[in-house]
Amino acid sequence: MESALEWHYARAALDWQIDLGVDEAICELPVDRFAAEAEAREARAAPKVAAAPAPAPGVAPKSDPVADALDEAKQRASGADTLDALREALAGYEHCELKRGARNLVFCDGVPGARVMIVGEAPGRDEDIQGKPFVGRAGGLLDRMLEAIGLSRTENVYITNVMPWRPPQNRDPLPAEIAMMQPFLSRHIALADPDVLIITGNIACDALLGRRGITRLRGQWTEAEGRPALPMFHPAYLLRQPHLKREAWADLLELSAKLKATG
């Protein structure tokens, strides 16, 4: 009898951890998430470096790896005239270190040309394995949310992420990593050509709006990439904070009303 109770206690503890967002049992090395978050905050707060002075006549200018990486991203993105070409351009881009640790390129899911385009943050473990955005528990919740207002990724929704590769241990992408992907994201939105954008989570708000603070931004229509945009809580966040589902439902009703008004 005692062993049966222990099993149920262990199962309840596991379910509780999954609800908190735990998606890996072990890692190869311990992860100091507080240090990673502090590093990301410092990087965002760091002052911009002034441009280097022009080289003397006859002296070749020094190469700037960050500027070179961003220039190549812009060239590759602007040269893609279809979504398939954009996927190939991303696959051939070698400047983002996240690519080296990821299993798969996570490009898109859903229906190209749909009126609604959802932009998420970065792939997690399930997305990295399957090569699709918004799968696993968070993806299941997103599908149920969309279904509640008559939408579906198989019929009338297109989905992508800011980052196509999974950051190690699901850390937040660094500002330089986000900057490298912005030309690809802008081109992705232009080629998919949605009527409205749904921006889920702080990373996506940072990339498309230049702001964070999803609790303040959510539910308020704004503009991104020349299109109406609605920030919303990320489904993964709602799994950890289920009391916020009421606000998420209000945002879904806002989206539904917008589509009907502009349909």
Going from N- to C-terminal start, the domains of the chain cover 64-262
Q: How is residue 139 written in tokens?
A: 């993806």
pLDDT of the residue at 65? 80
pLDDT 10s digits, 226-261: 999 999 999 999 999 999 999 999 999 999 999 999
Going by pLDDT thresholds of 50, 70 and 90, the confidence category of residue 263 is: confident
First to last CA, the chain: 61
Could you tell me which residue, 9 or 176, shows the higher pLDDT?
176
Task: Quote the CA–CA distance of 195 and 113 in Å, as a whole number.
Answer: 9
CATH H superfamily, domain 64-262: Uracil-DNA glycosylase-like domain (3.40.470.10)
Could you tell me which residue, 49 or 19, shows the higher pLDDT?
19
Task: Quote the CA–CA distance of 224 and 146 in Å, as a whole number.
Answer: 21
Lateral strand order in the sheet of 116-120: 109-110, 157-161, 116-120, 196-200, 227-232, 222-224
| Phi, psi torsion values for 242, nearest 5 degrees | -60, -20
User: pTM score, two decimals?
Assistant: 0.77
pLDDT 10s digits, 81-127: 999 999 999 999 999 999 999 999 999 999 999 999 999 999 999 99
Going by pLDDT thresholds of 50, 70 and 90, the confidence category of residue 47 is: very low
Evaluate if residue 52 carries a pLDDT over 60: no
DSSP codes, the chain: -HHHHHHHHHHHHHHHHHHTT---S--SS---HHHHHHHHHHHHHSPPPPPPPPPPTT-PPPP-HHHHHHHHHHHHHHT--SHHHHHHHHHT----THHHH-SS----EE-TT-SEEEEE----HHHHHHT-SS-HHHHHHHHHHHHTTT--TTTTEEEEES-SSPPGGGPPPPHHHHHHHHHHHHHHHHHH--SEEEEESHHHHHHHHS---HHHHTT--EEETTEEEEEE--HHHHHH-GGGHHHHHHHHHHHHHHHHHH-
Evaluate if residue 1 carries a pLDDT over 60: no
Return the number of other C-beta atoms located less than 10 Å from residue 86's C-beta. Answer: 22
Q: Which of 53-67, 120-134, 145-159, 231-245 has the lowest mean pLDDT?
A: 53-67
Evaluate if residue 28 carries a pLDDT over 80: no
Could you tell me which residue, 49 or 89, shows the higher pLDDT?
89
Evaluate if residue 27 carries a pLDDT over 60: no
Q: Over pLDDT 90: what percentage of the chain? A: 73
Task: Quote the CA–CA distance of 177 and 7 in Å, as a whole number.
Answer: 43
pLDDT of the residue at 12? 72
